[in-house]
């Protein structure tokens, strides 16, 4: 398991060749770090193989050794962002099972807000989902993964399967939280944490209502 928020360096499915030596692995990490900076500072349309090479301080040919095209770089970035969200979600589920989520809504919002804050390139990637099929797939995979994790937490906290109602509710929570957190962290600089607090208040109310409905349905 990786540390939450710490991306993995490669996406094996789209790599032209696997980096075996430490120098090659460092080069791949530098390529993806450069692509992340470009995304966060300049946006998806500025992400080109030549621009990545400039940002990474490497010959453009060295990037093509590992990634055949821009979409492969995007896929690798999507995988590393997804890995961070998966790790965070798994850890939250584990904490819920162990009874360590005294404030599930506040904790979840704080964890995902920190991921948005620490991965500005990821926010730019998801925000540009309409620009390419790779981005749309990455965003859908991220939303599905988080919603499934939240459903596991909800069902544990309410004492049983929540069925279609819990599935629909967790999807809605992910959509709503994503929209707010994208707005909060879409620009570099100081974040609007008061808006994050408002998101918590909104989701607290929804959670209390949902927990009551699910608990009543299981009686």
pLDDT, one tens digit per residue, over 72-119 is 898 888 888 888 999 999 999 999 999 999 999 999 999 999 998 888
Q: How confident is the model at residue 141 (pLDDT cuts 50, 70, 90)?
A: confident
CA distance 75 to 216: 43
pTM attached to this predicted model: 0.78
pLDDT at 19 (0 to 100): 52
Assign 3-state DSSP to the chain and report helix, strand, coil percentages, each to 5.
75, 0, 25
pLDDT, one tens digit per residue, over 185-215 is 877 667 788 999 999 999 999 999 999 999 8
- What CATH class is the domain 72-217? mainly alpha
The closest of 200, 197, 99 to 156, measured between CA atoms, is 99
Q: What angle do CA 112, 114, 116 make, to 5 degrees?
A: 70
In this predicted structure, the answer to whether residue 12 has a pLDDT above a threshold of 50 is: no
CB atoms within 10 A of CB 157: 17
Q: Where are the domains of the chain?
A: 72-217
pLDDT at 40 (0 to 100): 85
How big is the chain, counted in residues?
219
């Amino acid at each position: 398991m990786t540390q939450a928020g710490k991306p993995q360096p490669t996406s094996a499915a789209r790599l032209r060749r696997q980096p075996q030596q430490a120098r090659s692995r460092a080069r791949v990490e530098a390529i993806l770090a450069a692509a992340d900076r470009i995304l966060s500072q300049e946006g998806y349309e500025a992400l080109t193989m030549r621009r990545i090479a400039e940002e990474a301080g490497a010959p453009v040919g060295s990037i093509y050794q590992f990634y055949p095209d821009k979409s492969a770089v995007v896929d690798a970035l999507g995988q590393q962002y997804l890995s961070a969200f998966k790790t965070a979600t798994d850890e939250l589920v584990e904490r819920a099972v162990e009874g360590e989520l005294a404030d599930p809504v506040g904790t979840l919002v704080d964890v995902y807000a920190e991921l948005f804050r620490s991965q500005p390139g990821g926010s730019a990637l998801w925000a540009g989902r309409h620009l390419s099929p790779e981005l749309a797939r990455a965003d859908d995979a991220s939303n599905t993964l988080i919603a499934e994790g939240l459903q596991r937490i909800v069902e544990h906290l309410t004492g049983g399967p929540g069925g279609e109602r819990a599935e629909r509710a967790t999807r809605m929570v992910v959509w709503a939280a994503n929209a707010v957190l994208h707005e909060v962290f879409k620009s570099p600089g100081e974040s609007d944490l008061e808006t994050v607090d408002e998101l918590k208040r909104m989701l607290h109310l929804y959670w209390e209502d949902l927990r009551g409905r699910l608990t009543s349905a299981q009686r």
